[in-house]
Structure 1
Amino acid sequence: MRAVRAVISLPPAPHRSRSTARTTAPAGAASPYGSTSPRARNRHRVRAHGRDDASAWSPATLIGHRAAHRRRSRRPPGARSRTVPPPDSAELRHGLADLLAQDGVLKTAAWRKAVEEVPREQFLPSFFRDEPGPDGVPRYVPVTRAADAAEWLALVYRNETWVTQLDGHVTAETADGPVSGFPTSSSTMPATVVGMSEALDVEDGMKVLEIGTGTGYSTGLLCHRLGADNVASVEVDPEVAKRADDALEALGYSTWTVTGDGLLGHPRRAPYDRTVATCALRRIPYAWVRQTRPGGVILATVGPSAWSYGTGLVKLTVKDDGTAEGRVIARTSFMPARAQAAVPLSGDLAARAAYADTERETALSPDLLREWMPAFLAQLAAPGSQLVRATSSGRETVYLFDTGREAFAALTADGDRWNVRQGGPVAIWDAIEYAVSAWQEADEPDITAVRLTVTPEAHVYWIAEHPALRWQHPHPPLSA
């Protein structure tokens, strides 16, 4: 695989980290993994052992099968084999494709072939499943092939997201048992991965830039569909990048991989026909607009305050004038890009809200912000504000903090009513209340009604024909 590391402002020229003799077959070629790698060519050996369906064997299965054959050739006559064949995922892959097709997610033959032939287990040798902890905090239970191969493989092919890293370094291989922590990397549920792949509307020969390699499964699907030489993928975490790199290489995908800040894109391979992000963003980096050709598409999840919900998948088309315009096409949720992630607030929250400039009753309950669209509107109206719920002496307070501007809103219940205290240079709750009220008066349009234009100076969001539902977010100025 061509692995590169980004340094200073521009990454060095990519290079192949392993065999340069490996070539990648075009999409639709006979190889089950779209390559002419040695593992793909060994399908003839599988047939020699009585298996006709070569595509039903994952690379791990091929390795195990060949090793078992060598052991059998040295086993004394009549000796009983102790070799347990590795699990075969072909039926599970086809079952996953059927499920995604039935749900209307998987729509085209080319992507179906990718789902049926790219083994997800290659990218998920271990992961965590979550369960409720005794104190209400989720606990993460390691799942590995070594512990229970059948359970591991069955879980791999569930249509679920699996956490693969906690706190930036803890993996299922390093955990001794159930652990707690903050998820920092995962394998996104196949429905989301495939749905976004379909939404890219790719054609043969197109070049794609992927931001957030993660486990590498979505990268593998792209390589199968377009050919490895047409895919570049950027991952910020070196350990995550290495695991993905190894998994892709094992399948014969010598694609272009970059370890670095995905917000910078990868200009050395630009321009791209498609740019897709598997992380949530406060704003679309203008670098991506520059690196996507006019007429090309950018697909990414945005939430101007980096909340874990209330975010939207935007599909933008880059225009000749250097802007990009499009709309939100669906609700979606991803872990935030690390460079744009909000730092969790700690310490005495009441101290942050000690000095109020105004206090009044509000007709808008903050409980409405538990819903997806109002939460998205709140982020549009007060970008950069963090939402925190705290309970003291049995009484809940809902806080919104804009730490960059030292502004806050603190809401407390008084029977069926809510009171709000606000302080700082911006009235956070006033802006949210105005936006949500205008949305309600407009008959509560869905999130897919939201449009977005990205220019060198700002992001502009709007809902057509509703002047009150328009927000301009200037790019942050340089500061001393």
Structure 2
Amino acid sequence: MTDSASERRRMAALLTCKGALKSPWLRAAVETVPREHFLHPGVFLNEGRSWRPVTALGTDPEDWLKIVYSLDTLTTQLDGHLTAEQTCEPVTGVPTSSSTDPTTVVNMIEALDLTAEHRALEIGTGTGYSTALMCHYLGEDNVTTVEVDPQVAARADAALETVGYSTWTVTGDGLLGHPRRAPYDRVISTCAVRRIPYTWVRQTRPGGIVLSTVGSWPWGTGLAKLTVGDDGTAEGAIIGRSSFMQARAQAMTPLAGDLSARAAYADDDRPALVSPLILEEWVPAFLAQLAAPGVQLVCVTRSDDAPSRYLFDPERESFAEFIADGESWTVRQGGPVALWDDIERSLVAWQNAGEPDIDAIRLRVTTASHLYWIDQSPSLRWEHRLS
């Protein structure tokens, strides 16, 4: 018969075989912390166009444990309020809270390079599972976790108490950190941000690490690992691809209305030197966001069944529209910023540099700016001023 302890050991073994789980202390935490407590009362399973609610009480215990200890991300909230026990039928909705897949969880914790005396700040408590893994090693008094959603925070706090960790669970805007318990040795964000808030850098000791996913598209985001210097700056690299829900305060609002009307008046049109289809690839999508911060990519099918793609920057009131002509594309641009010109220059420079992967990108954060660059190409440099 399947039981929680054996499932925890099985999952730890799988994560070790995948190369994600390396530290003995973290393996011990994975084998100890019961993930099922952090998925109470249930989850939503993705069925393509809908989400099927599955609860612990309404599921065979062995089947429930198989779901809990799968290596999948498990959605725990839809649309900012709906949880699995509130419905019996499949529903549609947008995930707003989840228990991230264990591979990603342990990879990120491993990347923190924790030692037993560290004090950690976690942004985005979620279910509280990753919080518990860190508490197991650091102790509950050395972990502070911040969650913006009061309902999610309450459930996480209850789960942490159930498994024996009375840690510092704070309801608030994680983009502000938690200055009351600063400074921290490590800051880890389990949500994606458009840029690293300087408050996190300020609340981290010199020599400490800030780890967060940066970017705002559902794909094309990167995991930034920065070391804080004595001068109050932070520098490091994008160490890999990473995908998390966006911090709620920074989430982009989907564009509504007639998109063709938004792009009705172009200032110019020309052949695109690079196909916009390249933006469906991870690294080009990341570079596009560096070249044009705040831009949104929208793909639609026109009334004549022809594909069309748009880039919109609502804040700068600019757009680029791509129209397919066989294997070629025409780009129409309008507004004060030529969005595609900026992005295209970066993509051409990236191709000319040999298409380095995302881990070639470095990042420096100061009080005034975010500077990204790739060492092997002087033209691949993007500075985002904060003023």
TM-score range, shorter chain: over 0.9
Match of 1:325 among 208, 228, 235: 235
Match of 2:277 among 358, 363, 367: 367
Equivalent AA in structure 1 for residue 121 of structure 2: L
**2:379 alignment partner, SS class:** coil
Equivalent AA in structure 1 for residue 356 of structure 2: P
Equivalent AA in structure 1 for residue 119 of structure 2: K
**1:186 alignment partner, SS class:** strand
- Asked whether the equivalents of residues 211 and 226 of structure 2 are also in contact (C-alpha less than 8 Å), the reply is yes
Aligned counterparts, 1:67-466, within 5 A: 88-125=3-40, 126-132=42-48, 138-148=49-59, 149-303=61-215, 306-393=216-303, 394-466=305-377
Equivalent AA in structure 2 for residue 359 of structure 1: D
2:378 maps to 1:467:
yes
Measured against aligned partners, the alpha-carbon deviations of 1:453-473 in whole angstroms (never above 9, x if no partner) come to 000011000000311100001
**1:469 alignment partner, SS class:** strand
- Asked whether the equivalents of residues 184 and 203 of structure 2 are also in contact (C-alpha less than 8 Å), the reply is yes
Compute the TM-score of the two structures, normalised by the length of structure 2: 0.98
Measured against aligned partners, the alpha-carbon deviations of 1:27-66 in whole angstroms (never above 9, x if no partner) come to xxxxxxxxxxxxxxxxxxxxxxxxxxxxxxxxxxxxxxxx
> What CA distance in whole angstroms lies between the structure 1 residues aligned with 2:361 and 2:242?
14
> What CA distance in whole angstroms lies between the structure 2 residues aligned with 1:398 and 1:314?
29
Aligned counterparts, 1:30-41, within 5 A: none
Q: How many residues align?
A: 384
> What CA distance in whole angstroms lies between the structure 2 residues aligned with 1:392 and 1:399?
12
> What CA distance in whole angstroms lies between the structure 1 residues aligned with 2:289 and 2:346?
10
**1:346 alignment partner, SS class:** coil
> What CA distance in whole angstroms lies between the structure 2 residues aligned with 1:338 and 1:416?
38
Equivalent AA in structure 1 for residue 103 of structure 2: A
> What CA distance in whole angstroms lies between the structure 2 residues aligned with 1:105 and 1:463?
27
Q: CA deviation at 1:172?
A: 0.4
- Asked whether the equivalents of residues 3 and 62 of structure 2 are also in contact (C-alpha less than 8 Å), the reply is no
Compute the TM-score of the two structures, normalised by the length of structure 1: 0.79
Structure 1 runs (4+) deviating above 3 angstroms are none
> What CA distance in whole angstroms lies between the structure 2 residues aligned with 1:358 and 1:253?
60
Q: CA deviation at 1:150?
A: 2.0
Between structures 1 and 2, the one with greater strand share: 2
Measured against aligned partners, the alpha-carbon deviations of 1:370-396 in whole angstroms (never above 9, x if no partner) come to 110011011111110001011122011
Q: Considering only aligned residues, what root-mean-square deviation do their CA atoms show, in Å?
A: 0.9
> What CA distance in whole angstroms lies between the structure 2 residues aligned with 1:94 and 1:242?
28
- Asked whether the equivalents of residues 263 and 334 of structure 2 are also in contact (C-alpha less than 8 Å), the reply is yes
Q: CA deviation at 1:176?
A: 2.5
- Asked whether the equivalents of residues 385 and 402 of structure 1 are also in contact (C-alpha less than 8 Å), the reply is yes
Runs (5+) with no aligned partner, structure 2: none
Q: CA deviation at 1:397?
A: 1.0
**2:30 alignment partner, SS class:** helix
Q: CA deviation at 1:153?
A: 1.2
Runs (5+) with no aligned partner, structure 1: 1-84, 133-137
- Asked whether the equivalents of residues 363 and 417 of structure 1 are also in contact (C-alpha less than 8 Å), the reply is no
> What CA distance in whole angstroms lies between the structure 2 residues aligned with 1:363 and 1:327?
29
Measured against aligned partners, the alpha-carbon deviations of 1:194-232 in whole angstroms (never above 9, x if no partner) come to 011111001111100000000000000010011000000
